[in-house]
A and B are shown apart, each in its own frame.
Chain A
């Protein structure tokens, strides 16, 4: 895997950090490559802006920070506004479709949307929306194997919730497989950027 930068952003309480830990753990422990996860958050326990960054690579990672993410996952409108400008040209944008309204996005970005919160609610526990999101991420990006991610999920959640989280992952994954070949194009692209 070449150096791949991922940013996951939303608000505190959505499980942003845990979703980044799952991806990093899957790659560095269960796939044997390298991952570095960093995070930033406000002083609030819940509701404040929250962002996690993961760098993945076949080689040891020196510079640990994300500058131009290849993949951006946003779970709040604020995160969308703040972080989409830094997304790499040709990059992948994943949005929580009921929490984020896409507008003013430049062209050349592949966008995938998922109602992660609603899918989690269908499983009876809204809090697993982050694991739904990880499953969706696995399907549409293909960056990390579903097996490694499943192991990482099981290894990262309380034992009593493993089964619920496994179902959450699978729900997001299957939803993503159905969409993987078809990024949405329903937004109005901004004028092409001059290279």
Chain B
């Protein structure tokens, strides 16, 4: 389905990642946002608040992040596409409602422009240390989708994709930016609306009475209805049956929770989004994401100049983790070098996926800046030895 042209600011812009993310949300059809603005993500909702009156929609500045993260879900069940925007401290407060969105299969997008933590940490400085929180932050077993852009252009493109994936899989999608990408300004090309593909709400065609709110389709995703359309339905965070009613026994729990996991896990290959270069002859593969991938690129060039066969595997989709893809890659290279602005969150995932077939060398950074390319280069040189 083509994007609604009212939300598409077609043209060539010189804007930062936060602003581009907002335009991506508008292009994807988001007409509702609720937020409790926090550095370094404020510009996303600041722009949304300025733009949405002309596009047609609502922004609400909430009393806190708990409220913001549940208000968007009310908007979704009212028929809107909706998202919220935050950074680490606010992301922590949203965890309960991320689980609620996963359990109730409410399609929505959580934008996290990552800054240094834990706690209040480094409000204006970058980190990538919420990656595991994005995956496991809410309690219970569930699967998640998370994307990580490395440029303002991707902040636009991938925000559209984040909304589309949330609709297709009926799951909250984590949009994991970082302060660098959020506050970096570059050329952003926004195409005409007819070139922006949006995934429509999976609304049922069944008549009221013939519709079961949580009866899955073949791809394990159930169809939706909205409040006020004449359907009887019930939404709860309690374990529920196909009718949506609480049914708290082992069999229902098993069926529901396994389906929540499988609807995403079974689509791992489709959800594997990587940007690769120089892998034909690579002995060392630098696995990175977000801003770090751009710093790593300089290290890869330096390594190549020194005769080391280094290549790039950039994770655009971080969750679900591309296990099968990295396992196959590990079988034909010496090592993974994994730089990230945290103390090794995704490096351990890479190591797990490699399963011992290739070495994994983390290049950690506690946050507040980006790596020196030299530090990544040293890890590449060590890996090549």
Contacts and interface: CB of A to CB of B under 8 A. Distances in A.
Interface in B278-315: 291, 294-295, 297-298
Contacts of B186: 24, 28, 34-37, 61
B288 to A, nearest CB: 12
Given A25-B14, A28-B14, A64 B187 contact: no
Interface in A33-47: 34-43
A162 B15 CA distance: 20
Given A43-B124, A65-B370, A28 B298 contact: no
Contacts of A39: 183, 185
Interface in A55-69: 61-65
Given A62-B298, A63-B295, A28 B370 contact: no
Nearest to B293: A62
A21 interface: yes
A178 interface: no
Contact of A63 (B14, B124, B297): B297
Contacts, number: 51
A190 interface: no
B298 A36 contact: no
B184 A64 contact: yes
B184 A38 contact: yes
Nearest to B15: A21
Contacts of B123: 43
Contacts of B207: none
B185 A38 contact: yes
A24 B373 contact: no
A24 B187 CA distance: 9
Contacts of B297: 62-63
A157 interface: no
A182 B124 CA distance: 40
A65 B373 CA distance: 11
Size category of the binding interface on chain A: 20 to 34
A143 interface: no
A1 interface: no
A160 B187 CA distance: 25
A41 B14 CA distance: 20
B180 A38 contact: yes
A7 to B, nearest CB: 15
Instruction: Indicate the member of A21, A28, A29, A64 with the most B CB atoms within 10 Å.
Output: A64
A42 B124 CA distance: 8
Contacts of A41: 124
A64 B16 CA distance: 13
B12 interface: yes
A69 to B, nearest CB: 17
A61 B298 CA distance: 10
A40 B12 CA distance: 25
Given A35-B187, A63-B294, A21 B14 contact: yes
Contacts of A63: 294-295, 297-298, 373
Given A62-B298, A64-B180, A36 B185 contact: yes
A154 to B, nearest CB: 13
Contact of B183 (A24, A25, A38): A38
Contact of A29 (B12, B124, B180): B12
Nearest to A54: B185
A40 B123 CA distance: 12
B298 to A, nearest CB: 4
A65 B291 CA distance: 11
A97 to B, nearest CB: 28
Contact of A28 (B183, B184, B187, B373): B187
A43 to B, nearest CB: 7
A37 B184 contact: yes
A76 to B, nearest CB: 19
Contacts of A65: 370
Interface string B1-18: 000000000001010100
19 contacts: A21-B14, A21-B185, A29-B12, A34-B187, A35-B186, A36-B185, A37-B185, A37-B186, A38-B184, A38-B185, A39-B185, A40-B124, A42-B124, A43-B123, A62-B294, A62-B297, A63-B297, A63-B373, A64-B294
Given A28-B186, A37-B186, 4 more contacts: A29-B12, A37-B14, A39-B185, A62-B295
Which 9 residue pairs of A and B lie closest in terms of their CB atoms, listed nearest first?
Answer: A62-B297, A37-B185, A25-B14, A28-B187, A63-B298, A62-B294, A36-B186, A38-B184, A29-B12
